[in-house]
Amino acid sequence: MSDLFERMANKVAAWAGRPPAFALALSVVIIWVVTGPLFRWSDTWQLVINTGTTIVTFLMVFLIQNAQNRDAAAIQAKLDELIRAVGHARNEFIGIEHLTEIELDKIRTALELNAGDEPSRHAAIVRLISRL
């Protein structure tokens, strides 16, 4: 079941982010608007689009979350491997994504302080951008 869901989620998420998916959604909305006078702008006519969009949105939330979870896990694994492979990197950083928000904020603050003052970091970024 899990494998089937992941394969389906991959395919739907990949397709949903492409122009044909947008074109299909736009076409449905245009057809719905055009049929408004035919159904005399009835409550049922409005309910059709409301129900349809709610169902699609509800299902897409789960598919998109699945794709984001896999992407985040893959990025974390890649970063962990880079930390492990680089000689001067600190292996203690492997797995910090499991820490609390407060613990991560403390680490980020300490790293920023260790990196130097804000004006020098900003100047380095400006120099980097100017080279692009």
Task: For residue 1, give the H/E element and its range.
Answer: none
Give 59-105 pLDDT, tens digit per residue. 999 988 988 898 999 999 999 999 999 988 888 989 999 999 999 99
Check whether 116 has a pLDDT greater than 80: no
How many other C-beta atoms lie within 10 A of the C-beta of residue 115? 11
Looking at residue 91, the DSSP 8-state letter turns out to be G
Check whether 57 has a pLDDT greater than 90: yes
Which amino acid is located at 129 in the chain?
Answer: I
The chain-wide mean pLDDT, for the chain, equals 90
Please indicate whether residue 47 or residue 91 has the higher confidence score (pLDDT).
47
Question: How far does the chain reach from its first CA to its final CA, in angstroms?
Answer: 47
Check whether 26 has a pLDDT greater than 90: yes
pLDDT at 87: 84
Structure confidence at residue 7 as a pLDDT band (50, 70, 90): confident
CA distance 54 to 60: 10
Determine what percent of the chain is predicted with pLDDT higher than 90: 56
Looking at residue 87, the DSSP 8-state letter turns out to be T
pLDDT at 40: 94
Cβ atoms 125, 116 nearer than 8 A: no
Check whether 118 has a pLDDT greater than 80: no
CA distance 112 to 88: 18
Structure confidence at residue 53 as a pLDDT band (50, 70, 90): very high
pLDDT at 5: 87
CA distance 27 to 33: 10
